[in-house]
Amino acid sequence: MAVMSDKKADLAGPGIGDYAELEKILPQDYRPLLSPREAQQAIFAAKNYIEQNLCEKLNLMMVTVPLIVDAESGVNDMLDRDGSRTPIQFHISNDRNQHPVDAQVVQAATKWKRMALKRFGMAPGEGLCTDMRAVRKDYFLDHDHSAYVDQWDWEKAITADQRNLDLLKATVRTIWEALVGAERHVQKLFPALRDPRYPSLPEELTFLHAEDILEMYPDLPRKQRETAVLQRYPAVFIIGIGWPLKDGYPHEMRAADYDDWISETRAADGAIRHGLNGDILVWNHVTKRRHELTSMGVRVNAETLRRQLELSGQLDFLKYPYHQGIVNGELPLSIGGGIGQSRTLMLLLRTAHLGEVSVTVWPKILKEMCAARNIHVLE
């Protein structure tokens, strides 16, 4: 019973969740490899490299992206389908409240991007990339989760016959190539980042389905399964996140209205699998913990949107313009994802805390805990 309880608790809600536990896992002998000034230079060197290579290799163009959206549009990202993480909403009393707007701060640009593909006239094979900023107020603030989120949110138009694992894997490999190249780039500019304690990223990552990982570690909850598998493979792409696995639980909860986690696929041995989406995770040698870099997938079509909303008890979402656009075939079929900027920079610059590469708010308890370990967050 305890195992099942742990698995259920591990489905959503990122972050460690307890500062006593966080204090145990923060490195005791940490020292940053770069000065604060060098770190800023390295941050923008890595960012420019990644943006340029993502756009070149995936045929994307950089576009502007909203920070706030109309609450009635249904375009905001709910992140999980259990309603545990809700956006910040506020009232704009425009024109003495005669023409007001109820707005939300975006949690991600996932749905907006697909609508933007149509707005900017993207044909299959063309796409967009954004320097996205968001606020996620329901996160537990630890060493690699903050309320302030920055991502390379990207989306690419595809054809119906490209909605398969081959396209997903090819796209993941292209993104991985850009990340590995960025690591080499910043290490060339800042040789201090070449430290034998922190091995470089492998040239290739390993593809594993969430069902396969469950078979490997059937008694472990999700985060512990990821930790265990990263001891064998230092960089993995976990396929099929959202569909209930053989133990009755999804690997992790996923929203029902963007990634396709319900489509049936086949393993090499013919076993039935589900899902055209997944996450890149690596082993972080500084924090000695699992480290997620990106979540992405082939997006739902009209059929899989309905099926996923029905399974999630959210068919009422079909009233929103975004969902109507998919059902009516007005929005392009697409593949897309979000690559965590600060998460990636934290890894490449070998920092122990997200706050060393991004500026946001942190609770006093965390700042004091970090300072005692020579970890100084930006403010």
**Catalytic residue positions?**
77, 136, 151, 279, 292, 295
Please check whether residue 286 is in contact with residue 198, taking contact to mean a CB–CB distance below 8 angstroms: yes
DSSP 38-100: HHHHHHHHHHHHHHHHHHHHHTEEE----SEEEGGG--S--SSTTS-S---EEEE-HHHHTS-
Distances (CA, A) of 37 to 34, 44, 194, 362: 8, 11, 18, 21
C-alpha span between 186 and 251 (Å, rounded): 34
Specify the DSSP class assigned to residue 367: H
Q: Given the structure tokens 């595809």, which residue do they identify?
A: 158
Spell out the residues 6+ positions from residue 208 whose beta carbon is closer than 8 angstroms to its own: 229, 233, 236, 237, 238, 239
Q: How many CA atoms are closer than 13 Å to the CA of 127, on its beta-carbon side?
A: 26
C-alpha span between 56 and 65 (Å, rounded): 20
C-alpha span between 247 and 270 (Å, rounded): 20
